[in-house]
Every structure is written in C-alpha cells, then in structure tokens.
C-alpha cells in the first residue's frame, strides 16, 4: 500500500517541468470551453421591446458573448457603438418631463422674463430713466427686431422721465437719448411710439420721433420738454464747469432742433417753450405735433371738444402773467 502511494509520486517528480505545463494548458482550454458554453445559456433579463439599442445589445450578447469579453483598445471610441446601425439621441428633458405622470401640472421649462415675452410681440418698453443700462438694452432690442424682420413694425412703449429723475436730478447724459434716437432713425422698420405714463425731456423726443401717423398717447399720459440740466459739478475747477456748460448748451440746441423737426414747429417756437418746463397733456401734445392720435376708445372727440386750460382761466377772469 505504501508502494502504491509512492509510485505515482516518484514517477511524477522527474517530469514535473514538462507534464505540469501541458496539464495547465489542457485545464485552461477546458475551462474556457465550459465557460463559453455556460455563458451562452445564461438567461437574459427582459428588456423593453421599444428600445432598439437594448434589443440589439441583448441579441448580440446571446449570439456571441465572447465579444463582450474583449474591451476595445481605443479608449476614444465608446464600446459597442457599432451595435446600433443608426444611433439616436436620448429623449430631451422636455420629453422626459412630459412623460412624468405624477405631476402633470409641473411647468415644462422655466417661464421667460416679461421683457422677453414683450420682445416676442415686437414690443420694446422703456419704463425707466435713460441710464446706460437702459440704453444698451433698448438699442439691442431694436437691432434684434430689425434682424428678425425688417418689414414688421416695432412698438415702442414709453414711460420715462428721460435723463433726469422726477425730482429733476440728472441721472444720465443727454447722449443716452440721442443714442436711442439715432438707432431709431437707422432702422428700416416702422416704429409705433406710445406714451403710457410720462415722456419727459429726451423721452418726449423719442415719442415724437416715431413714424408719422403712428405716434400715440394714452389719454392721461403727460409729455414735457425742457432744457438739459448741468450735471453736478462738485469741486470741479471753473474752467471745467464752463466746458460742461457749453456742452449742455449744444445739447439744448440739438434737442430743440430735433423736436422742431418731428413736431413741425419752428426751432424758435420750440426753444421758447423750452425755457421753462413745458407740460402737455394728450390733447395739447397732439396740437403741438408730438403725437398723432390719442388712444381713448370712442372718447377722443369728447377730449377734443374740451376747452383748453387758457380758455378756462379766461372765462373765469384769471389773468396769467407771462413771466410766471
């Protein structure tokens, strides 16, 4: 019994180097064959029949599982991309969100801001004094609307105190209003201007600069033209204050000439009324030539028949001094 146990061991020791290598080779081939046969018979999980990529992937895995054991050598190429004859992108977030049934009233995307909604309707709204940020936005919107369609009209709604605040303090240079005016003059589109609150100073110029016959005003809106104001000089030298004063005089003359051009009045008439703030309601603005029509449904005739403030004062026996 001892001999039987030792014989195989004795016989196997001298040829351990050659026989062991052949044994390992045969064992490896046998295991690979068994694994390939067993892997081919592994049941595949159920896949959605509406997903073509998963269907092709499952079919390829069932027919040739060994193909998935060899990873691609080129890392820049996604694996198994050739399984899809015509790759398709995943569903967009909007489509995915529409497929969610637990919250059907959830918005599909963030709502746009109001200026964007108005811009979609070709409406540009000036609701602030003409500071550089407002000028930049208005000019950009005008240029964009002309680029979108140079034949459709643009509607410019104005509720602005111009380059000053309501208390008269200067907040922007007169060039802000001139910049919007020049942009309006360069556009090919018709520009319909509508005063919906106040159109003061440079804003009044923009109101009058609309296309002829397309300048409107709400019945209770106000328009006013006035001389430009000198910005705060602080501790500037006298020579610098004089330079600023000369520039304001030039801007005043330019403003008077442009208002006269669009209202049909003489430059002297406009310069005279601009000596002091010249307020106009909708009726007086129409008479002065700032607008063409009052947007009051069916009651424009009633306003036209109303007496002017001077007539009321005259009938009441009130004498108004020119100096005042």
DSSP string, 254-308: HHHHHHHHHH---HHHHHHHTTS-EEE-HHHHHHHTS-SEE--TTTHHHHHHSPP
- First CA to last CA across the chain, in angstroms? 141
Contact present, 215 and 292 (Cβ < 8 Å): yes
Domain 115-296 matching CATH 3.90.226.10: the answer reads yes
Q: Which residues contact 98 (CB under 8 A, 6 or more apart)?
A: 108
Q: How many CA atoms lie within 13 A of 270 on its CB side?
A: 26
Quote the distance between the C-alpha of residue 267 and its chain's center.
40
pLDDT digits (tens, 9 = 90+) for 138-180: 999 999 999 999 999 999 999 999 998 877 788 888 899 999 9
Contact present, 56 and 84 (Cβ < 8 Å): yes
Residue 124 scores a pLDDT above 80: yes
Dmax (CA) for the chain in angstroms is: 150
Residue 77 burial (C-beta neighbours within 10 Å; 0-12, 13-18, 19+): exposed
CA distance 248 to 164: 14
Gyration radius of the chain over CA positions: 42
CA distance 305 to 160: 29
What the block records as the tokens of 136 is: 């930049």
List Cα–Cα distances, 252 to 70, 175, 269, 279, 294, in angstroms. Answer: 82, 11, 14, 17, 28
CA distance 181 to 207: 10
Domain ranges of the chain: 33-99, 115-296
User: Taking the model in full, what pTM does it have?
Assistant: 0.59
Average pLDDT over residues 246-250: 91
DSSP string across 91-114: PPHHHHHHH--S-TTS-SSPPPPH
More confident residue, 323 or 243: 243
> What was the pLDDT predicted at 288?
95
> What was the pLDDT predicted at 13?
42
| Kind plus residue range of the DSSP H or E element containing 322 | none
What the block records as the tokens of 113 is: 């801001």
Closest CA to 193 of 214, 212, 218, 177: 214
Average pLDDT over residues 27-37: 52
> What was the pLDDT predicted at 111?
60
CA distance 15 to 8: 11
Closest CA to 248 of 181, 175, 161: 175
> What was the pLDDT predicted at 321?
56
Among 74-78, 238-242, 249-253, 290-294, the least confident range: 74-78
């Amino acid at each position: 019994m001892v001999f039987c146990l030792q014989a195989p061991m004795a016989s196997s020791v001298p040829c351990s180097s050659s026989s062991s290598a052949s044994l390992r080779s045969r064992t490896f081939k046998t295991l690979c064959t068994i694994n390939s046969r067993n892997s081919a018979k592994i049941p595949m999980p159920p896949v959605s029949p509406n997903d073509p990529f998963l269907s092709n992937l499952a079919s390829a895995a069932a027919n040739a599982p060994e193909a998935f054991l060899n990873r691609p050598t080129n890392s820049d190429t996604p694996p198994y991309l050739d399984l899809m004859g015509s790759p398709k992108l995943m569903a967009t977030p909007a489509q995915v969100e529409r497929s969610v049934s637990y919250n059907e009233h959830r918005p599909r995307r963030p709502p746009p801001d109001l200026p964007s909604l108005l811009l979609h309707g070709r409406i540009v709204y000036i609701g602030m004094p003409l500071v550089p940020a407002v000028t930049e936005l208005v000019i950009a919107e005008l240029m964009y609307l002309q680029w979108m369609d140079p034949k459709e009209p643009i509607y410019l709604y104005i509720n602005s105190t111009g380059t000053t605040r309501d208390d008269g303090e200067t907040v922007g240079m007169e060039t802000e209003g001139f910049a919007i005016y020049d942009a309006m003059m360069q556009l090919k589109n018709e520009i319909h201007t509508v005063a919906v609150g106040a159109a003061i100073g440079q804003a009044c110029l923009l109101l009058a600069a609309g296309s002829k016959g397309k300048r409107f005003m709400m019945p209770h809106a106000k328009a006013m033209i006035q001389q430009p104001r000198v910005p705060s000089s602080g501790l500037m030298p006298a020579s610098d204050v004089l330079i600023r004063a000369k520039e304001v005089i030039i801007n005043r003359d330019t403003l008077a000439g442009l208002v006269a051009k669009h209202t049909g009045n003489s430059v002297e008439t406009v310069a005279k009324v601009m000596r002091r703030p010249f307020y106009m309601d909708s009726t007086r603005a129409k008479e002065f030539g700032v607008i063409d029509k009052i947007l009051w449904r069916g009651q424009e005739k009633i306003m036209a028949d109303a007496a002017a403030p001077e007539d009321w004062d005259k009938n009441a026996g009130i004498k108004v001094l020119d100096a005042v």
